[in-house]
Amino acid sequence: MTALTIPPNRIAQYWALTKPRVTQLAVFCAVIGMFLSTPGLPDWQRVISATIGIWLLAGAAFAVNCLVEREIDSRMARTARRPMARGEITVPQTLVFSGVIGGLGMWVLYNFVNPLTMWLTFATFVGYAIIYTIILKPATPQNIVIGGLAGAMPPALGWAAIANDVPMQAWLLVMIIFVWTPPHFWALAMYRRDDYAKSGLPMLPITHGMKFTQFQILLYTIALVATTMLPFAVGMSGLIYLACAAVLGLIFLWYAWQIYRHYTDLIARKTFAYSIVYLSLLFAALLVDHYLKF
């Protein structure tokens, strides 16, 4: 083995810093934004370049998140195996890794996409890695609501990558993810409440109790279903999307009602899992409708 060879386990550790499953969902929403931004098919070279650039900057933001929350992660069963929580990667190594992939992502976006996408993605990086992770998350139980805007930005980034503009339609997609985030994350926080109590983070089930959180999940889910009707209302989508949004929304509402009226950790876990499937299918329906709209 030469001095330049990186052991496979170390590669896996750096890969884990980027929270690949979360990154995949964010990039998927960005790619949907790319396709929705144009009547036909977008330029494939730009799609690939934008996907790579957004993925790299998202991974850099999550690496910073792992760095900042390494002590918190070490106290939680769900996150205790993360590389930084276990001390497998040092702070300087994480900073260098985040800086390299983040800088590379900005270079790709600036040179092969457009400056607007680069700056919007960089602003999203700052919003998540600094404003949310460092300032909001440890300070207020509304952290996931206020900081949710950073996590909701991928469709706007994808739209800007192809159109070099962020019109009202792109912001509607951002709004959908923004309203989706609280019921998605609070469902997790409820069945992981013991973990969050150990972490010291002011999560809503800990600071305001389970009943209050259950009611908030129901309210936000109702707001989410209403928000998902807006693309059809403004003529952005057609009947295919409307039907899919209605069915998916009714299922989400059923889960939220079960959480509110008949809470168990199992139903909260199922709600969290469904929320991920819900967002993926909702955006997939937007894409199908975009090309088959009637």
For residue 139, the model assigns a pLDDT of 79
Residue 209 pLDDT level (bands cut at 50, 70, 90): very high
Mean predicted confidence (pLDDT) in 267-275: 96
Of the residues 136, 165, 194, which one is the last residue of a structural domain? Answer: 165
* b/e sequence 239-257, b meaning 16+ C-beta within 10 Å: ebbbebbeebbeebeebbb
For residue 219, the model assigns a pLDDT of 97
For 186, the domain range is 167-294
Mean predicted confidence (pLDDT) in 145-171: 92
Checking if the pLDDT of 2 tops 70, the result is no
Whether 32 and 149 share a structural domain: yes
Whether 15 and 155 share a structural domain: yes
For residue 99, the model assigns a pLDDT of 95
The radius of gyration computed from the CA coordinates of the chain, to the nearest angstrom, equals 19
Whether 205 and 293 share a structural domain: yes
Q: Which two tokens stand for residue 263?
A: 């809470």
For residue 1, the model assigns a pLDDT of 40
Residue 1 lies in a domain: no
Question: Other CB atoms closer than 10 Å to residue 212's CB: what's the count?
Answer: 13
Of the residues 142, 165, 188, which one is the last residue of a structural domain? Answer: 165
* Residue 6 near residue 257, CB atoms below 8 Å: no
Residue 3 lies in a domain: no
Whether 102 and 27 share a structural domain: yes
Residue 2 lies in a domain: no
Mean predicted confidence (pLDDT) in 24-42: 94
Mean predicted confidence (pLDDT) in 273-286: 96
The more confidently predicted of residues 132 and 279 is 279
Whether 196 and 85 share a structural domain: no
For residue 7, the model assigns a pLDDT of 59
For residue 85, the model assigns a pLDDT of 82
Whether 71 and 153 share a structural domain: yes
What is the total residue count of the chain? 294
Checking if the pLDDT of 4 tops 80, the result is no
Whether 31 and 158 share a structural domain: yes
The Cα-based distances of 32 to 80, 157, 283 in angstroms read 33, 10, 7
Which residue from 35, 33, 2, 41 is spatially nearest to 158, judged by alpha carbons?
Answer: 33
Whether 51 and 175 share a structural domain: no
The mean pLDDT of the chain is 91
Mean predicted confidence (pLDDT) in 195-217: 90
Q: Which of 31-45, 89-103, 130-144 has the lowest mean pLDDT?
A: 130-144
Of the residues 113, 136, 165, which one is the last residue of a structural domain? Answer: 165
Whether 110 and 227 share a structural domain: no
Checking if the pLDDT of 147 tops 60, the result is yes
Whether 14 and 81 share a structural domain: yes
Q: What is the number of structural domains in the chain? A: 2
- Measured in Å, how far apart are the chain's first and last C-alpha atoms? 60
For residue 12, the model assigns a pLDDT of 87
The more confidently predicted of residues 2 and 63 is 63
Q: Which amino acid is at 53?
A: G
SS3 118: helix
Whether 116 and 254 share a structural domain: no
Residue 136 lies in a domain: yes
> Side-chain half-sphere of 19: how many Cα atoms within 13 Å?
19
Whether 283 and 149 share a structural domain: no
Checking if the pLDDT of 5 tops 70, the result is no
